[in-house]
Amino acid sequence: MTTQREKAIRLRELHQGPRILALPNVWDCAGARLVEEAGFSVVATASASMSWSLGYPDGQSLPREEMLFMVRRIAATAQVPVTVDIEAGYGANSVSEVIKTAQGVLDAGAVGINLEDGDGDGGLTDIAFQSEKIIALRALGEFAGIPIVINARTDVFHAGILEPDEQFPEAVRRLNAYRAAGADCLFAPFVTDAPMISALVRDLHGPLNILAMPGMPSLCELEAMGVRRVSTGPALFLAAATTARRMAEHLREDGVCRTAGPGSIIYPEMNRLMMRVTEL
């Protein structure tokens, strides 16, 4: 039986290469089992996907208790390490609230978190304050004996926050500060340009995580460039929602219940994957 501490250590090790850590972000137990069955070594959640699945818009609208309930189910279902997108930690203005959220994540059985520096009002949290949160999170992991893996995200590249010529230097400044505070990985979403990604790899003092988006280099190319982690964000949820909408439209328009196409998962297979869940 792999302990929670061992899972945390393994998750941290996976950021050191040589292979890139690809994360198809999920939102429930079914997604966790499908990702694990497909051979991925980590299960990661997406905050937007989890919020939508429970009837909330993205943007820390999902109550912390409901988020942690889902994390507990996912972590109990998966045998591999689980890392959780906690957005701004449910405490944009409070270190203690971020620690409360992270403690809940550890209690639920997960071993990693994604913490962003957006302030919820279209701006960015003060670097020193964000670093204070990361220092406190590092201390929490040490106290708990579980070296929680901290993926520090900056929203510098989010449209409208900064002018284009300000984005790169500010991203480097922020992410290196977060690394110095104790972050294990540095997340710069919304970057697809290869020269920009290469420059981030060069100037950052820790493993770089980017968001999978149309137009970005392939995983093999990113790996060769030195990127260590790639997340899909809400892409899997949006793909599933698109398929569901198309099938519903077909049923309404021509009265035919069509499958999702070749390779569709069938009832017995899905039920088999969930046997581990029902045995909890």
pLDDT per residue as tens digits for the range 159-186 = 788 999 999 999 999 999 999 999 999 9
**Predicted local distance difference test score (pLDDT) of residue 160:** 84
CATH code of the domain containing 125: 3.20.20.60
**Predicted local distance difference test score (pLDDT) of residue 34:** 96
**Predicted local distance difference test score (pLDDT) of residue 1:** 53
Asked if 208 and 172 count as a contact pair (C-beta separation under 8 A), the reply is: no
Based on the structure, what is the number of domains in the chain? 1
Q: Answer whether residue 73 shows pLDDT above 70.
A: yes
**Predicted local distance difference test score (pLDDT) of residue 280:** 54
Two structure tokens written together for 82: 């689980």
Q: Kindly indicate the confidence band of residue 276, based on its pLDDT and cuts at 50, 70 and 90.
A: low
Q: Compute the mean pLDDT over every residue in the chain, rounded to the nearest whole number.
A: 94
Q: What range does the domain containing 82 cover?
A: 4-278
Beta-bridge mates of residue 112? 83, 149
Global model pTM greater than 0.85: yes
**Predicted local distance difference test score (pLDDT) of residue 93:** 82
